[in-house]
Each structure stands twice: as structure tokens, then as C-alpha cells.
Amino acid sequence: MEIILNGNKYNLDGSCSVAALVTELGLDGRKIAVEKNLEIVSRSHYGTEEVQSGDCIEIVNFIGGG
């Protein structure tokens, strides 16, 4: 199935939790924020929030800035 991840098409084997996606991407769940279809997914819901075909996922982190 296909999702839009940070503006690009991304293929997943099937629906999964946000936590599973974060792990697959090799990201540290404590240092990111996730938005699904323009709604923020709170960290405590990563395990239960499902990512499904067509979902638009944004994952952001902090970088250096002024």
C-alpha cells in the first residue's frame, strides 16, 4: 500500500501503527512529532494509531535554526 510520507510516496507492506512506521524509518520516537492527515498524533498514541493506505503522514524534528 502507498502513503504520502513527508511529501513523497512511500510503500508499506500493509497497514501498521505509527510506532511501527517510526521504527521502520529508524527514527527516535522521543525526538519527533507526527501528523496524520493534518492531525497531530500524540506520542502516547503511536502504538494504537493506524497508518492506512492513502494517509498523509508528516514526521518532523528539531534542527538548528535562529
Binding stretches for other proteins (CB under 8 A): 6-7, 25-28, 31-33, 35, 38, 40, 42-43, 58-66
The least distance separating other proteins from the CB of residue 1, rounded to whole angstroms, comes to 20
**For residues 64 and 56, what is the distance between their CA atoms, to the nearest angstrom?**
26
33: which residues sit within 8 A by CB, 6+ positions away?
40, 59, 60, 61
The least distance separating other proteins from the CB of residue 21, rounded to whole angstroms, comes to 12
- In DSSP terms, which residues pair with 31 in a beta bridge? none
The least distance separating other proteins from the CB of residue 6, rounded to whole angstroms, comes to 4
